[in-house]
């Protein structure tokens, strides 16, 4: 069964994470993704540990299902190959610092004039406009500057980044959205568009709640640890054998929680509404934990779940990878080697669409320049 983007060809000039994450998503949706890498070195992420059988696990996690060709874009002969690829591509994705594509002769104006249907997706630290457009950035720098670190971690402790490279991942997601929108628009106009994604912009977009709080109250929110800043109770709680999470986000759920825990708090004016619960959140936590400490996490998760109250365990990644719900949703897939055997595990495609194949395997991770012959044959076939 062909997938949604099986007729779309993507040239991927990106490396490390934000861009490769976007092109992996497009590949999961069926696009042909050709990774154009630097000769000799390739994507920087090829050197990121840990390694298995000489391959980088982080690189493999987001570059399976792609083809690789190494091209020196300063060489006339290699540029001729790249130009032939551009003529057959629907999308070009790049993550150079702004200005590099122009210096190479592949700026948006030149590309659009030569290949009017081509969509160009650019992802960078600060975007293609503004006073600091050429300033270098990494995920942790953007998490710091964009506000994420100001709201992550425990109160009165050092600020910390999120446990995942959320700036890169969000930028990759927004880049994917922009590309899909441009593909849809091209069906009407026949013309490609330029998509400009900045890590800083993407990070700010994720903090809409903090923006609302700051602009309304005049006070920026601080770090609230494991507690939701505007809902109570919604945080971690101690049980007899560890911690688990309860999120009773409205008055009805709170009433059910009180019944389940045999706590006479639903009509207490200190806890009757969410604003009051937020004002008295520390006392509320102590009252709840006085009950939950009397039994195990599994007991309370089962009991609260039966009552329709959102609650769950705090799992490490080894546990997540064995979670029956995640497995049922095919969110753990096998990346195969060239002999069809398991090589790596990777995250499955979270976009479930009716009529689209949702396989539990992925094609191999490409060797650097490992698909040159195949790509050149494809160019020759499509030219004839």
User: What torsion do the CA atoms of 347, 352, 358, 364 make, to the nearest 10 degrees?
Assistant: -40
pLDDT band at 148 (very low <50, low <70, confident <90, very high): very high
pLDDT band at 81 (very low <50, low <70, confident <90, very high): very high
CB contact set of 365 (below 8 Å; sequence gap of 6+): 55, 59, 60, 63, 64, 335, 343, 344
Answer yes or no: is pLDDT of 225 > 90. no
Answer yes or no: is pLDDT of 2 > 70. no
Average pLDDT over residues 213-227: 89
- Name the region of 160 (left: φ>0; alpha: ψ -120 to 50; beta: rest): beta
Considering 228, 238, 299, 342, which one is annotated as catalytic? 228
Residue 24 CA to residue 345 CA, distance in Å, equals: 15
Q: Residue with structure tokens 């389940």?
A: 260
Answer yes or no: is pLDDT of 320 > 80. yes
8 Å CB contact between 221 and 151: yes
CB contact set of 269 (below 8 Å; sequence gap of 6+): 276
Domain boundaries, given as residue ranges, for the chain: 9-206+357-383, 234-316
Percent of the chain with pLDDT over 90: 89
CA distances from 342 to 24, 89, 174, 176, 338 (A): 19, 31, 31, 28, 10
Average pLDDT over residues 334-347: 93
Residue 156 CA to residue 159 CA, distance in Å, equals: 9
8 Å CB contact between 136 and 130: no
Computed from CA positions of residues 110, 115, 116, 119, in that sequence, does the dihedral angle turn out positive or negative? negative
How far is residue 227 CA from its own chain's centroid? 23
Average pLDDT over residues 212-239: 91
Residue 49 CA to residue 54 CA, distance in Å, equals: 10
| Angle, CA of 250, 256 and 261, to the nearest 5° | 125
Supply the pLDDT for residue 188.
Answer: 96
Reported as a single tens digit per residue, the pLDDT across 19-48 is: 999 999 999 999 999 999 999 999 999 999
CB contact set of 355 (below 8 Å; sequence gap of 6+): 1
The percent of the chain in helix, strand and coil, each rounded to the nearest 5, is 40, 15, 40
pLDDT band at 226 (very low <50, low <70, confident <90, very high): confident
Answer yes or no: is pLDDT of 1 > 70. no
Judged by DSSP in three states, 139 sits in: helix
Say how many C-beta atoms besides its own lie within 10 A of residue 19's C-beta. 27
Supply the pLDDT for residue 182.
Answer: 98
CATH architecture assigned to 234-316: 2-Layer Sandwich (3.30)
Mean pLDDT of the chain: 94
Reported as a single tens digit per residue, the pLDDT across 274-308 is: 999 999 999 999 999 999 999 999 999 999 999 99
Residue 12 CA to residue 15 CA, distance in Å, equals: 8
Of 14-23, 134-143, 294-303, the one with minimum mean pLDDT is 134-143
Reported as a single tens digit per residue, the pLDDT across 208-217 is: 889 998 999 9
pLDDT band at 384 (very low <50, low <70, confident <90, very high): low
Answer yes or no: is pLDDT of 170 > 60. yes
Supply the pLDDT for residue 321.
Answer: 95
Supply the pLDDT for residue 357.
Answer: 85
CATH class of 9-206+357-383: alpha beta
Q: What tokens does 86 get?
A: 């551009």
Answering whether pTM is above 0.85, one says yes
Residue 174 CA to residue 287 CA, distance in Å, equals: 42
Which range is most confident: 53-57, 287-291, 351-355?
287-291
Q: What is the largest CA-CA distance in the chain?
A: 79
Whether 9-206+357-383 shares its CATH topology with 234-316 is answered no
DSSP 94: E
Residue 7 CA to residue 195 CA, distance in Å, equals: 20
- Respond yes or no: is residue 228 known to be catalytic: yes
DSSP 32: E
Say how many C-beta atoms besides its own lie within 10 A of residue 366's C-beta. 22
Judged by DSSP in three states, 126 sits in: coil
Q: Residue with structure tokens 């000039």?
A: 13
């Amino acid at each position: 069964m062909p997938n949604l983007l099986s007729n779309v060809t993507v040239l991927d000039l990106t490396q490390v994470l934000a861009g490769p994450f976007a092109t992996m998503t497009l590949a999961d949706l069926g696009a042909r993704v050709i990774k154009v890498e630097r000769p000799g070195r390739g994507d920087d992420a090829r050197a990121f540990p840990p390694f298995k059988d000489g391959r980088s696990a982080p690189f493999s996690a987001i570059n399976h299902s792609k083809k690789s060709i190494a091209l020196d874009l300063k060489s006339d002969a290699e540029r001729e190959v790249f130009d032939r690829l551009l003529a057959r591509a629907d999308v070009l994705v790049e993550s150079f610092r702004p200005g590099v594509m122009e210096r190479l002769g592949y700026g948006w104006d030149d590309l659009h004039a030569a290949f009017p249907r081509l969509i160009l997706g650019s992802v960078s630290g600060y975007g293609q406009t503004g006073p600091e457009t050429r300033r270098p950035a990494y995920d942790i720098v953007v998490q710091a500057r964009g506000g994420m670190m100001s709201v992550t971690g425990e109160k009165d402790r050092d600020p910390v980044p999120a446990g995942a490279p959320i700036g890169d991942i969000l930028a990759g997601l927004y880049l994917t959205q922009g590309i899909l929108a441009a593909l849809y628009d091209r069906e009407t106009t026949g013309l490609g568009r330029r998509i400009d994604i900045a890590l800083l912009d993407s990070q700010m977009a994720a903090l809409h709640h903090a923006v609302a709080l700051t602009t309304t109250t005049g006070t920026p929110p601080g770090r609230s640890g494991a507690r939701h800043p505007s809902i109570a109770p919604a945080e971690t709680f101690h049980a007899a054998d560890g911690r688990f999470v309860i999120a009773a986000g409205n008055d009805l759920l709170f009433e059910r929680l009180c019944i389940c825990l045999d706590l006479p708090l639903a009509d207490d004016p200190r806890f009757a509404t969410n604003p009051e619960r937020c004002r008295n959140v520390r006392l509320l936590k102590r009252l709840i934990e006085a009950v939950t400490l009397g039994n195990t996490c599994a007991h309370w998760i089962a009991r609260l779940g039966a009552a329709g109250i959102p609650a769950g365990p705090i799992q490490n990644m080894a546990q997540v990878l064995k979670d029956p719900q995640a497995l049922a949703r095919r969110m753990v897939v096998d990346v195969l080697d060239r002999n069809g055997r398991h090589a790596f595990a990777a995250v499955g495609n979270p976009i479930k669409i009716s009529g689209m194949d949702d396989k539990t395997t992925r094609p191999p991770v490409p060797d650097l320049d490992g698909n040159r012959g195949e790509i050149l044959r494809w160019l020759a076939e499509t030219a004839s």
